[in-house]
Each structure stands twice: as C-alpha cells, then as structure tokens.
Amino acid sequence: MNERKSITKELIEIVRKSQVISRLKITPKDVRIGVFYTGVVLSTGHAGMSYTPVQEIPEAVCCPRSHAKMPQAGNLLNFPVTDLMEYALDDNVLKAAVGIATINALSAILLEDDRCPYKPSAYGNALDLIQIAKEDTVVMVGAFPPFIKRIQEITSKLFVIEKNPRAVGKGDTVQIEPEARLHELIPQGDIMIITGVTLVNHTLGPILQLARNARDIVVVGPTASVYPEPLFKRGVTVLGGVQVTDATKMIHLIGEAGSGYDFFEQCAEKIVIRNNKK
C-alpha cells in the first residue's frame, strides 16, 4: 500500500464499513472553502474542518487555472458524501481539504457512538498529556507558536520544520528548519509534534515511518480530528483535534476567513485522545 495515502485509505474504509454511518443516509448540507480553513456540514448536523493549504496551490493566480483545481464548484452539495470523502485521496490539496473535512465530520459521528473505544482523555492542550524532559529532543513538523514557547521553557533541543518561514512571530527565537532536513531530524526526536495538515498533503504516513524512535508522537490541530485508529496503529500516542459545537457558526466563520482562535472561542472545543495501548 502506498504509505503516502494509506492512513487516508484506512479512514475511508472504516467509514464505509460503519453500520452507524450507513443507516443514517447522510448527505452534505454545506461546504465552504475559506482562505484559511475548509468546512463541511452534514445532514445530521455534524461538522468537520480542515486547513486550506492555499500556499501549496501555485495555480491560484488566474481564473482558468484556479477553476481547474475545483471544477465542481457550485455542485458539491449534489455529490454523495462518500464521493466528497474520496476527495481526501486527491493530490490536489484543495480537493483533499474538502475530503479531510468530510472525514472529520463523519469521524465525529463515530466518536460519539457509545460503542466507540476511543473517548476524549482531556479537553484542551494536547501537550498536557505528555511529559517533556530537559534532555529531550523535540521535533515539530509545522510551527505551533504557543507550543514553541512552552517547550523552550523545558528544553533547548527543539527543531521546527516548517515550509513557511513566516509562520513564527518576530519575537520567537526558534530557528525554522527547511523541509530538506526532515529525514535527518525526525529520527532524532524523542518527542514528535506533527500538524494535522500532513493528512491533507499526504506526508503524515512517511513522517511516522521516520519517527519510530520517538517516545511520544502528537498529531494536533483542527485538521487532525479524525477517527484515531489508523494513526494509533502507526505509533501516534496523542491525537489533539476539535469537536465542533456549533456547525452554523463554524461555516459562517470559515466564510469570513476565520482561524483557529475564532473557532475555539465561538464554535469548537479542543479534544485530546490518548492511545492507551502505548
């Protein structure tokens, strides 16, 4: 199986086999592709979101080329929800964001089922569920400024791999490492912190293969609100996503260029699930 997309393929298979989901006859109710986030609301009222990686779309410059990235614009609500979910496998990251947001919405249904073996271990910060020591090397894939400051108070051995050098503020003292050092740095990490956006650009699987020396692997962010099983079986110890509490508000915020802070204040709460088998 292609490791780049194996996690997403397993998530899709879990959803397709779920009797909980199949008996609900779910259809998409709303789809929004915002500047920063993409959101999907289902006919059940459940919702999911995903980061919109616009910076990874060089064609986002003119009408003909941009249209090619989402040729079904205006018609997405007529798609079966399973077709939208399949978008998560696309190399077109705009489609993949719609697909992951759909999977996150469907995962919310699975996670609230009484028979689901995965329950929130905490609400709030994913770092609260791991222990970081002074001697630990922490490797972060995707910059999380609030995490950076907290980690630097504990250890000086922090490496942040980030495509966008402007992702950290001027006051942050961390050095951004280029993506080219990924294969060198990740095997050194005692603690791995990985952005959920790696689900959208299909890099999470290969990153987890490199992180086998890590004591704790945290995958975090609104995009990482998926059903945990495929991640946990690959060594992830903590999954930090979100639970959408107001789908209507979420879609409204996405349409007005809302970001994480807006969601947490108005329509979502952070949930953290610990892999109890690790």
Q: Which of 91, 112, 133 is the last residue of a domain?
A: 112
Domain span at 214: 122-244+269-274
Tell me: do 223 and 129 sit in the same domain: yes
Judged against a pLDDT cut of 80, whether residue 194 lies above it is answered with yes
CA gap 122, 106 in Å, rounded: 21
CA gap 56, 245 in Å, rounded: 29
Whether 88 is in a domain gets the answer: yes
Q: CB pairs under 8 A, 24+ apart, for 19-24?
A: 20/109, 20/110, 20/113, 21/106, 21/109, 21/110, 24/109
Tell me: do 127 and 229 sit in the same domain: yes
Q: Output DSSP code: residue 271.
A: E
Whether 214 is in a domain gets the answer: yes
3-state SS, residue 103: helix
Q: Which of 77, 112, 147 is the last residue of a domain?
A: 112
Whether 191 is in a domain gets the answer: yes
Tell me: do 72 and 100 sit in the same domain: yes
Average pLDDT over residues 201-223: 96
**Residues of the chain above pLDDT 90, percent:** 79
pTM for the model stands at 0.93
Whether 219 is in a domain gets the answer: yes
How far the first Cα of the chain sits from its last, in Å, is: 24
Tell me: do 133 and 97 sit in the same domain: no
Per-residue pLDDT of 117-140, as tens digits, reads 999 998 999 999 999 999 999 999
Find the CATH number of the domain harbouring 100. Answer: 3.30.390.100
Whether 148 is in a domain gets the answer: yes
Tell me: do 45 and 136 sit in the same domain: no
Tell me: do 127 and 238 sit in the same domain: yes
CA gap 169, 149 in Å, rounded: 11
Tell me: do 90 and 196 sit in the same domain: no
Find the CATH number of the domain harbouring 158. Answer: 3.40.50.11590
Residue 116, exposed/middle/buried by CB under 10 A (0-12, 13-18, 19+)?
A: middle
Identify the pLDDT of residue 256.
95
Tell me: do 192 and 148 sit in the same domain: yes
Whether 258 is in a domain gets the answer: no
Whether 99 is in a domain gets the answer: yes
Average pLDDT over residues 12-20: 96
Identify the pLDDT of residue 29.
97
Tell me: do 236 and 126 sit in the same domain: yes
Identify the pLDDT of residue 4.
87
Whether 167 is in a domain gets the answer: yes
Per-residue pLDDT of 55-114, as tens digits, reads 776 655 555 455 556 668 888 999 999 999 999 999 999 999 999 999 999 999 999 999
Total number of domains in the chain: 2
Tell me: do 48 and 149 sit in the same domain: no
